[in-house]
Structure 1
């Protein structure tokens, strides 16, 4: 072997060795970052080597400003923005029972810079709208759960029903006398009341309204028998005595109404119903973006100030991994699809 070629071979061998060491270091850092996210460690420990996010993130809210989903989104993203050291812009895109906002997210570039605050419709719209141009379960991927607020069954102050068993017994004996209102066909209140009917074995006529406000007005006027609704929408009427809360549709009472019995305590565990929220994004989002967003969301939901404010909204925070939220959405989809098909519910 010529003497002049030996230094070059040694140099190439050394370069290959350094490349192998560098690749091993990068692999170990990536594994450590994923492990940090899974363990819920501080954001600085999770994917610290990634430059994501390098520009503002847009979060689509498929509802009008000022509503519950909008309030929750702005509360959570304000803290996440600080943790991610990047601006988060909330965009309201209401319409078509949230399908406009969902489709906008589905069609967005899957680069981690467009997200959606998903709610119950993520699990129900495929069954309610069989001709959608997209599949929520297939085209949107979970980033993380935010929390949920259990619905409450309420009746007018002059109602003869003092307890939920009273209402159920009357509905069984008088199948054509009870009625209930909701914000519209396929709304969370509509589906929850149908689930309650099935679990309780009674009947009641559904009266759909164009929004929750007119339904509440008719409930206050004793023109409908009951509603299943987010307690935040009627808490002032409950506190003033204009409405009576019969039950919280969850395993435990809500902090907003600590003295109102839960569905579990009334032996109606199959009637659990809530409004819930979580972040999702278009499929094929980079894993490092999903993991970093999830880490920031989980740290946000561990903040005592955020937990306190969510409690004031009647909500419970539910931090977890993307897989946790994905499994939850799958279970909700199965649950509400069955209710929709059994009750033959059609969208407005």
Structure 2
């Protein structure tokens, strides 16, 4: 996505000798829009920045092999209509072919959304083949018997998301039932972050569904419900959920269904939250990755399933009066 512009700029500005291959996934190489106004915006295909990157017979820098991966019409940032830049009904001057570059290997991956051009199994296969020069032995993730998890706790000072570490945040992990999300015993991990914001390592089994409780200073206590982690990772970064706001007033519990590695597509995907299609996920081109469910206090004791295609996570409501939010965070 956006980082691809920085990569191209670095390579064109003298970095080609250090970069053998560049993979650009869903990058708006010709802009998110192409307008006369806002010429200093990096996303304007008519602006100085992108015109400079794309000038010449070839749009790639010699010496580096380039691969672009794009969607066949489902990328929210490669649309002819300006809905996703706040101007519905206005032509952007951009089409689904916007990410393609003259001189690159350009592949269309099908009806994938913007994030899936990087995170999907199909994208992995093409990236691996481009860099390694051969097909991958497998695409599916092979589980490990013992899994070690860790990562960084970051925050949102002033409401702005950052990658800065948070000191004094506590992380607890519980094994939970896949059907009811009830905790199975006490915490399997408990730690508090120091100045570097790191948490872990937590030792879990690759078959366990997990509840990760993040208590971060000045933030909403967040209960993340996750599918089993098949393999170890030290980049399970955590950030507290959004603050409870006016729209949540009167709710007994607030639950989120979140897909950080993709968007929800209706009717492309099966998307059910508490057994219903979420009203806050708009149909058509996938552009929403979070759905919100508010329950009354009387409903706050029952499990709530979140289903996205074949991945199912059951979460439990927590009292909003205690400044808590539950998040069913999808892996796939």
Q: Which one has the bigger helix percentage? A: 1
What TM-score does the superposition give when structure 2 sets the normalisation length?
0.22
Which fold has the larger relative contact order, with Cα–Cα distance below 8 Å and residues 6 or more apart in sequence?
Answer: 1
In our comparison, the structure showing a higher alpha carbon Rg is 1
Determine which structure has the larger strand proportion and give its number: 2
